[in-house]
Amino acid sequence: MKKIIFLMLFFLSTLSLAQSRGEFVLHEKEQVRDQIKTSSKYEEAVAIWIYAPTNQIKNFKFQIALDWFQSEPPVYNETFSRWEFFVPKELKQKVKITSIGFKDFDILIDNDFKARSIWKYELREKSQSELDRIRLTINSYPSEATVLIKEGKTNNAITSTTPFSAENLFGSVDITVSKQDFISQDTTLQLEKGKDYTLNFNLDSAVNRVEIGSDPPDAKLFFNNKEMSNPFNGYLPFGDYSLKLMKEDYEDVNSSFTVSKENKVQKTITMAKKMGTVSFTGTDLTGAEVRIGLEVVPIRNGTTSKKFDYGSYILQIKKKDYETLNDKITIKNNNEFVKINLVPDNTQAQKTKKRVLIALGLGGIGAGLYLMQSANKNYEAYQKATSPSEAASLRKQVESSDQIAPFALGLGSVAAVIGITIDINK
């Protein structure tokens, strides 16, 4: 029985001792700038000094992740109550300190310490309040992210922003850190007394660059039915988007795109113009030459055999015995109806009439001149006649020519003037 009681007391005391183990905390770390190690033996080394409460520091034992520099173990300096040792420069190391009645403590040696520099680390024992305290610190990049903490036991929820720090949490906690346009992160942590927890969340961007334009450039652009500037050049959150382009006289574009970490959207969308045929009503165009813009277009049953982009065009129609039609049309439908009325061409008849009148006029003038010349010749012959009968005959011819010549000249002149003055364009 006594042995059982002794063992129980021994285990209780051991358990009590284990539960009451102290802890060290790094109180200060700084470079000693007023002293320089001059020994050539340590020209490539960094000197480390460890200070701690004098009633505890002599019990320190050291473990290091890498070999000691030149196999030199730490040395306790009685004069200054500190441990001294050397480590290679630019080599990151971890030194573990063990001491009776205390939890192991790790010191991290930075890898950017320069040769022959001296760094001192000052440790102190945690107070009882610090041993009972739980400190949780949450940082994020970028900062001002939303922090949501749910306690497992109480199911309480805390919402705050980074940087966040609290000392009133315990047990298991679920932590979510989120920020607009970034991918949220979460973790579960079991909090223990006497420990400080620092969590650093590096949030990945949840947006990517999007560059979308159109040809022509002045179309209306919509993402998820929301109108955007065109061209659009900016960042959008990850996800799937619908895309729509609209412009008068162009076919609508309905498409989609996906924004992701790997997918940078960059494109110019070419829009197709709406097209339509032209149907002519009114004058029959059989045998006519129809030109729309600069192109001669075949016509079948009054309709163009090809389609044209929506827009305005110059229309020209030529057909025999009709005046040439020059007009302007606008195509704005799948089949645009255009009424035409070709005017018969009277120019040829006018030209024929003009030529006839001028010919008659010139003929009349010529006849009158011929009669006048004939009268002159007959008069000369009359004067030279040798017999009364010959003279009477010639005199009669002269009188007849003199009477007809002015009439022929007059009629010829009138006909010629009328023919010349006829306007063939009417």
Taking residues 298-327, report their average pLDDT.
Answer: 92
* 65: its two tokens: 């992740």
Question: Could you tell me if residue 247 is inside a domain?
Answer: yes
Do 362 and 408 have their domain in common? yes
Q: How far apart are CA 121 and CA 86, in angstroms?
A: 13
Q: Is residue 426 part of a domain?
A: no
Residue 14, pLDDT score: 44
For residues 355 and 404, membership in a common domain is answered with yes
Tell me 65's DSSP state: S
For 137-151, give the DSSP string.
EEEEESSS-EEEEEE
Tally the C-alpha atoms within 13 A of residue 358's C-alpha that lie toward its C-beta. Answer: 10
pLDDT per residue as tens digits for the range 258-290 = 999 888 899 999 999 999 999 999 988 898 999
Query: How many domains are contained in the chain?
Result: 5
Q: How confident is the model at residue 404 (pLDDT cuts 50, 70, 90)?
A: confident
Q: Does 12 share its domain with 77?
A: yes
Tokens of 406: 């002015």
381, 415: one domain: yes
Confidence of residue 411 (pLDDT cuts 50, 70, 90): confident
Distances (CA, A) of 331 to 216, 327, 335: 19, 13, 8
In a domain, 332, yes or no: yes
CA distances from 202 to 144, 145, 162, 177, 299 (A): 12, 11, 12, 10, 71
Q: Decide: 140 and 203 in contact? Cβ < 8 Å.
A: yes
Residues 280 and 363 in one domain: no
What is the separation of C-alpha 213 from the centre of its chain, rounded to a whole number of angstroms? 5
Residue 67 CA neighbour count, 13 Å, CB half: 3
| pLDDT score of 11 more than 50 | no
Same domain, 28 and 111: yes
> What CATH number has the domain bearing residue 212?
2.60.40.1120
pLDDT band at 57 (very low <50, low <70, confident <90, very high): very high
Q: Is the pLDDT of residue 405 over 70?
A: no
Of 293, 309, 340, the one marking the end of a domain is 340
The two structure tokens encoding residue 172: 């298991």
Residues forming a β-bridge with 87? 46
Residue 284 half-sphere exposure toward CB, CA atoms < 13 A? 4
* pLDDT band with cut points at 50, 70 and 90 for residue 382: low
pLDDT digits (tens, 9 = 90+) for 116-172: 889 999 999 988 877 778 889 999 999 999 999 998 767 788 999 999 998 888 889
| Residue type for position 247 | K
Which residue, 323, 340, 357, sits at the end of a domain? 340
Q: Which domain holds residue 399?
A: 347-421
Which residue, 107, 130, 113, is CA-closest to 52? 107
- What's the sign of the alpha-carbon dihedral 31, 32, 33, 35? negative
34 confidence band (pLDDT: 50, 70, 90): confident
One domain for residues 234 and 284:
no
Average pLDDT estimate for 225-231: 95
Of 164, 181, 202, which residue constitutes the final position of a domain?
202
Instruction: Please check whether residue 347 is in contact with residue 322, taking contact to mean a CB–CB distance below 8 angstroms.
Output: no
More confident residue, 63 or 145: 145
Bridge partners (DSSP) of residue 89 are none
Across residues 370-383, what is the average pLDDT?
Answer: 69
8 A C-beta contact, residue 16 and residue 8:
no
Instruction: For 40-49, write each residue's pLDDT tens digit.
Output: 566 778 889 9
Cα angle 105-109-115, degrees, rounded to a multiple of 5? 150
Is 111 found in the same domain as 11? yes
* Residue 206 CB neighbour total at 10 angstroms: 20
Residues 379 and 321 reside in one and the same domain: no
Decide if pLDDT at 424 tops 60: no
Note whether 108 and 45 are same-domain residues.
yes
In whole angstroms, give the CA distance from residue 240 to residue 288.
55
Q: Which helix (H) or strand (E) holds 20?
A: none
Tell me: do 248 and 213 sit in the same domain. yes
In this structure, the answer to whether residues 15 and 98 fall within a common structural domain is: yes
One-letter amino acid at 372 equals: M
Is residue 114, in this structure, part of any structural domain at all?
Answer: yes
